[in-house]
Amino acid sequence: MQTFSDRVIKIALAIPKGRVTTYGRIARAAGAGPMASQSITSILDKAGKGGVKDIPFHRIVYADGHIWVSPSRRAERLKLYKKEGIEIDKNDRIVNFRDILLEFK
C-alpha cells in the first residue's frame, strides 16, 4: 500500500511539461485535506535528497498562480518556465494560469 508521501511523489512526477498544479490539488489528489498542502514541499525535498530525480518543483505553484522563486534559483527557474512556454508576469504570477492549470480527477 502506498503512503501519502508515495502518492505525492508519483503525482508530482506526472505533471506534464507546460502545465502547473497547486500544492492543494496535489494534497487532495493524494487523498488528504487542504492542510496537507503545507507538507508537499517537505515531502518532495526529502524525496529529492533520497534519490528521486527530476522532481518538477517549478510546476507546483500557489492557488492564485503565484510562483515561489528563491533569489538563488531565480534565473534557473525562470529559464525552466520559458523553456516550457509558461509566461510569468512582473509580479511572479503565471499569465495564463487557468489555461495551463492541471486538475486531477
| 55-77 per-position pLDDT tens digit | 999 999 999 999 988 899 899 99
> SS3 for 55?
coil
CATH number at residue 37: 1.10.10.10
Please report whether residue 105 resides in a domain.
no
Please report whether residue 23 resides in a domain.
yes
pLDDT of residue 105: 79
Burial class (CB in 10 A: 0-12, 13-18, 19+), 32: middle
Nearest of 102, 20, 6, 2 to residue 52 by alpha carbon: 6
Strands 21-22 and 60-61, sheet pairing? parallel
Q: Which structural domain, as residue segments, surrounds residue 55?
A: 4-100
| 14-51 per-position pLDDT tens digit | 999 999 999 999 999 999 998 999 999 999 999 999 99
Please report whether residue 38 resides in a domain.
yes
> SS3 for 69?
coil
Q: How many domains does the chain have?
A: 1
Please report whether residue 12 resides in a domain.
yes
pLDDT of residue 1: 85
pTM: 0.93
